Amino acid sequence: MIELIPLWMFLAVCLVLMAGYPVAFSLAGTALLFALFGSIGGVFDAAYLHALPNRIFGTISNTTLIAVPLFILMGVMLERSRVAEALLQNMAAIFGEMRGGLGVSVICVGALLAASTGIVGATVVTMGLLSLPTMLRHNYSGALATGTICATGTLGQIIPPSIALVLLGDILSSAYQQAQLSMGVFSPDTVSVGDLFVGALLPGLLLVGAYILYVLLRAWLQPECAPAVDRSQLPQTSLGDKLISVAMPLALIALVLGSILFGIATPTEAAGVGALGATLLAALRGALSWQVLADVGQSTLRVTCMVFMILIGAAVFSLVFRGFGGEELVHGFFHNMPGGVVSAVAVVMLAIFLLGFILDFIEITFVVVPIVAPILLAMGVDPIWLGVMIAVNLQTSFLTPPFGFALFYLRGVAPDDVATSDLYRGVIPYIIIQVLMLVALSLWPTLATWLPQLVYN
């Protein structure tokens, strides 16, 4: 019974989180309670907690994680300065006269905004407020409109530069070194956030392309679901102005990604370029003011504090989990499983998919991935492929009814005449696309590993 304490501890955290308590304090509080009773019962060595100050210091001195507040600043600035809104209007003006064109515009803008923020809730709510009324006003099907917005909002899990990939890349880097040391490799290879960015780029673009193809196909087969927009209802600006308005945000993303791909900047340095570029873009549009700067600064600080508090809470949880022998429990479970590495990866993916119903990507990245990743990597799994699979898997989980986070976020801002059943029906085709992407990555891992090998070798 004592050897199952790590399992009870994990289940206790899930129950506390489902009760609505803050994530960071749920993780740390549950772990400390188990540590206290374990110490009293003589089954936990409190010396494990002596490593906590070093863990916290390592977190705050981690240069990779500096990219988190910078990317948050970049995304919030694009949102608050109405750059994203202007981009949507101008892309709708360019593509709106074709059937499904407004849907294509929403996918493109949503992908850009999702990549900039990497936070599902922020992107879905923003796109819901910006684009859902417009799509409904132009007679788009409620199911198609809501499904498209939910799906594009989750693209921030996979399209770089994304906070989700920054955090996941940092965890996988540590896990990869730990796995190699456990195998007796004392000059371990490294995997970086930049590697994961490059590996996620092709699957992310394939997903965007598949979304666009689905909307165009639906518009062709059922024109009443995605009609063309009347020219008189589109912004009456010159084509040159439209193209410039669209090109500037796209150029900013290209600059950030290009500087990483070509080795000019680290992800942290590129995040600084993105934050500065978004600020200059807002200034060029005349949308920068002291009030906007104050709002952006407060939002960035709030989200950054949330991320790092969860990270500290997860550090407490992982120390206590290891102190109870949780790592050995998971290791033994995977190694005794029939089917070897294939079964182990399948079980981990299923567990992460189900946990995505109750935990956000930050909690899963900081709590679950450090437990399972070193074991899978020691079994020969490629770290970049594993990171991309986790990101796409979480994206699918956040879309899946009835518990998907994206559905809850959009339901909160959608008009009352949009039925919840419309949301559920609307996301099903996108879930199928996501599952097909997971199957494709499983059958052809080079979809995630080919580009990093090409770029860095």
Structure tokens given for 52 = 């906590």
Query: Is the Cα torsion angle 410, 414, 416, 419 positive or negative in sign?
Result: negative
Alpha-carbon distance of 140 to 151, in angstroms, equals: 16
Cα-to-chain-centroid distance, residue 2: 36
Residue 235 has a pLDDT of 61
Asked if residue 245 lies in contact with residue 90, where contact means CB atoms within 8 angstroms, the answer is: yes
Buried b (16+ CB within 10 A) or exposed e, 306-323: bbbbbbbbbbbbbbbbbb
Positions of the chain with pLDDT under 70: 1-2, 96, 116-122, 185-188, 231-242, 457
Residue 428 has a pLDDT of 92
Structure tokens given for 387 = 């990171």
Distances (CA, A) of 402 to 357, 394, 399, 426: 9, 15, 9, 13
Alpha-carbon distance of 320 to 310, in angstroms, equals: 15
Asked if residue 390 lies in contact with residue 335, where contact means CB atoms within 8 angstroms, the answer is: no
Distances (CA, A) of 8 to 11, 26, 180: 5, 14, 29
Residue 118 has a pLDDT of 63
Amino acid at site 434? Q
Which residue is it, tokens 């500037």?
248
Residue 429 has a pLDDT of 92
Residue 217 has a pLDDT of 92
10 Å CB burial of residue 356 (0-12, 13-18, 19+) is buried
> How many other C-beta atoms are found inside a 10 Å radius of the C-beta of residue 374?
23
Which residue is it, tokens 């807002």?
282
Residue 386 has a pLDDT of 92
Asked if residue 282 lies in contact with residue 74, where contact means CB atoms within 8 angstroms, the answer is: no
Alpha-carbon distance of 244 to 247, in angstroms, equals: 5
Query: Is the Cα torsion angle 403, 404, 405, 410 positive or negative in sign?
Result: negative
Amino acid at site 408? F
Residue 121 has a pLDDT of 66
The predicted model scores a pTM of: 0.82
Alpha-carbon distance of 414 to 75, in angstroms, equals: 22
Asked if residue 405 lies in contact with residue 120, where contact means CB atoms within 8 angstroms, the answer is: yes
Structure tokens given for 269 = 């340095």
Residue 320 has a pLDDT of 86
Asked if residue 430 lies in contact with residue 214, where contact means CB atoms within 8 angstroms, the answer is: yes
Structure tokens given for 84 = 């994203």
Asked if residue 231 lies in contact with residue 97, where contact means CB atoms within 8 angstroms, the answer is: yes
Residue 173 has a pLDDT of 86
Residue 207 has a pLDDT of 93
Alpha-carbon distance of 298 to 90, in angstroms, equals: 29
Task: Give the E-state strand segments of 23-135 in sequence order.
Answer: none
Residue 234 has a pLDDT of 61
Alpha-carbon distance of 140 to 126, in angstroms, equals: 19
Alpha-carbon distance of 174 to 335, in angstroms, equals: 21
